[in-house]
Structure 1
């Protein structure tokens, strides 16, 4: 386990629609390799890249039947393969969206926290990592968690996810949404953009070729979807393209809790979980090992190398053409959170 170096971190902190087509051919000459482990186990996390480093914050794990919500921040230096610890969030959060703006400033937006109503209370706080500490940087227009976030054209996009229905405190209080909000960090102002074509939660997103891509996700009632939607910020329009194929090993559709990054002009999606039909969370299912690689010029997914450690609720980032899979749960639902980090160079 790597020794954390808080001082090193603080010093650094200061300083048109295509025709759908899917294929399952194996992509050769690529494999995942182990990297330095996050020094604490965590799942339901997101991350952002700033100054060549990967920042993860928040998350949850189950210990002795109790849900523990995290407030720690981890910072990974891929060049040195080393973790350092950043400042703690102002309050514990799981599923907070972590995004870096065009200037490299890292934001934590929304997510779930603990309140008198329960430990799945959807929140509106926006925090920014500034001068070695997290500071308040605004509020979401409405509570939002399990969303997709990305910086595009100098602004932060949040699309899909879950927001409260008639109550706000428990997992079942939340409903799937197609919400698409855009945050201007410089002005502290929110705008509303064209909603995503499908309301869903726990999808994955990445920016490629000047567009926002959202893959997978799930609905509470319908389960996983491999759907791929692309947002054109100039036209304020969504297009739907070839979906991620179902898992050859299980026949299940890759959907909720997967992660995705863009590298080498392609999208790389991996991980996620599925629940046994009619069982619901914690009632059976599994975790996907598959990696799927999407070529936008062909609108086609091909099978990449399986992850050595299948997991869901993990974070994804790409630095210098290398894709990183960070932390996540090694079994379906809330058990066996990990700190595993693996890297894939295409």
Structure 2
């Protein structure tokens, strides 16, 4: 069932390290899942072969979904940032390993362009997750990563909104620091840049109207959309939708449900958003089950069947007519899972 809403206009530098428990990104086992309801477009797929993962990114080449970086349980009650890359074959419903990132990263900024995967910065592991400028391109034919020009000095960040138009990769917002611990710094930014994969040059673009991180991003019809997200904290969620076209930002119809830590993907002219974090119930930060879609042609939102297992800190990618959503956590903070679901819009 869907309801259409009137328009008003988702490492340490050399070594993985543990990020300790804290209120905003506490390390906890996943919550028990009681009889998740599939159907209404949702299907359970083969779990991530390498085990639970969260705060990763995904990109697709052909029928293959690449799961890149992120965090996983370290076996000692914490999490570790990993360089691991796993590949999901959407046709065979199987997983395999690929060459790892040269640098372990969580919240990596990753997209696919021209049959290759670009990772343009991210966050490190350790006691404080700091921005990394390191950028790389992956060739699936050779299974090798090659170093690229780093992100511009002073503008390094992870967890940015991403989009691709032609040979240009767009990055909007993100965060420079996520410090574990009560009151830990979360340095959200409004910076916007593009990177041309042919010239290998970075360009500074007009900043977002407001800073955002853990935000959805997509390019549809030549327009770059930045959807939802948060500003300096898990519970500081936002419902805004910004659109960048012809050199300026405009505001579009807001999301029905403000969310940060959401995943987003495109099928046709619609942007689909999944889950998220910052849903406060009885003073506790929990996750959102919502699936909502934005029609870029009509500037309208619709509510769709919720996630069978609500999660945040996940990522989504469209392959053909289906969206794949691997990993994420079903508690507020760090609670990596190996769940891998597919959603096919009706």
Into which bin does the TM-score normalised by the smaller protein fall?
Answer: 0.7 to 0.9
**Distance in structure 2 (CA, Å) of the matches to 1:137 and 1:37:** 32
User: Quick one: distance in 1 between partners of 2:106 and 2:179?
Assistant: 13
> Residue 277 of structure 2 contacts residue 312 of structure 2 at CA under 8 Å; is this kept in 1?
yes
Partner residue in 2 for 1:4: none
Correspondence list, 1:263-342, <5 A: 263-274=267-278, 276=280, 284-335=284-335, 337-342=336-341
Deviation at 1:52, TM superposition (A): 2.8
**Counterparts of 1:106 and 1:216, CA distance in 2:** 25
How many residue pairs get matched?
302
In the alignment, the residues of structure 2 paired with residue 153 and residue 65 of structure 1 have an alpha-carbon distance, to the nearest angstrom, of: 44
Structure richer in strand, relative to its length: 1
1:151 matched to 2:164? The reply is yes
229, 249, 252: which is aligned to 1:238? 249
- Cα distance in 2 for partners of 1:88, 1:297 equals 39
CA drift of 1:298 comes to: 2.4
Q: Is contact 1:122–1:169 with CA below 8 Å preserved after alignment?
A: no
8 A contact 2:56–2:315 mirrored in 1: yes
Is the contact made by 1:160 and 1:176 (CA closer than 8 Å) also made in structure 2?
Answer: yes
Q: Please report how far the alpha carbon of residue 297 of structure 1 lies from its aligned counterpart in structure 2 after TM superposition.
A: 2.7
8 Å CA contact 1:121–1:170 kept in 2: the answer is no
Determine if contact 2:62/2:319 at 8 Å carries over to the other structure: no
Q: Structure 1 residue 260 and structure 2 residue 228: aligned? A: no
Q: Alignment partner of 1:223: what SS?
A: coil
Q: What TM-score comes out, normalization by structure 2 length?
A: 0.82
1:291–1:114: structure 2 CA closer, same or farther, 3 Å change rule?
closer
Q: Are 2:46 and 1:47 equivalent residues in the alignment?
A: no
Query: What are the superposed Cα offsets for residues 253-309 of structure 1, whole Å, 9 maximum, x if unpaired?
Result: x32110111113211111001154996xxxx22111110011223211111001101
Contact 1:112 1:119 in 2 (8 A): no
Distance 1:34 1:276 in 2: 27
Does 2:176 align with 1:163?
yes
Q: Which residues of 2 match residues 218-233 of structure 1 at below 5 A?
A: 218-220=230-232, 223-232=236-245
Deviation sequence 1:174-214 (CA, Å, 0-9, x none): 41111111111222210011212221110011221221111
Structure 2 gaps, min length 5: 1-5, 10-38
How many angstroms apart in 1 are the aligned matches of 2:227 and 2:78? 31
TM-score by length of 1: 0.82
How far residue 82 of structure 1 moved from its aligned partner, in angstroms, is 1.6
Task: Tell me, in whole angstroms, the C-alpha distance in 1 between the residues paired with 2:232 and 2:281.
Answer: 12
Q: Which residue of 2 aligns with 1:16?
A: none
Secondary structure of 2:149's aligned partner: strand
Change (3 A) 1:292 1:338: same
Rounded to whole Å, the distance in 1 between the matches of 2:168 and 2:64 is: 20
Q: 1:98 matched to which residue of 2?
A: 110
1:91 Cα deviation (Å)?
2.1
Equivalent residue of 1:331, what SS?
coil
In the TM superposition, what is the alpha-carbon distance from 1:35 to its structure 2 partner? 1.1
* Contact 2:123-2:176 at 8 Å conserved across structures: no
Q: Deviations over 1:81-136 (max 9, x none)?
A: 221110011121111111112x1210112111136xx3402110001113212221
2:305 alignment partner, SS class: coil
Selected match of 1:112 from 101, 117, 123: 123
Equivalent pair of 2:7/2:301 in contact (CA under 8 Å): no
Greater mean deviation of Cα atoms: 92-101 or 29-38: 29-38
Aligned equivalent of 2:8, options 21, 33, 43 = 21
> Secondary structure of the equivalent of 1:123?
strand
Aligned to 1:123: 132
Match of 2:15 in 1: none
Q: Indicate conservation of the 8 Å contact 1:289/1:311, yes or no.
A: yes
Contact 1:55 1:73 survives alignment (8 Å): yes
Of stretches 168-177 and 308-317 in structure 1, the one that deviates more from structure 2 is 168-177
Distance 2:292 2:306 in 1: 9
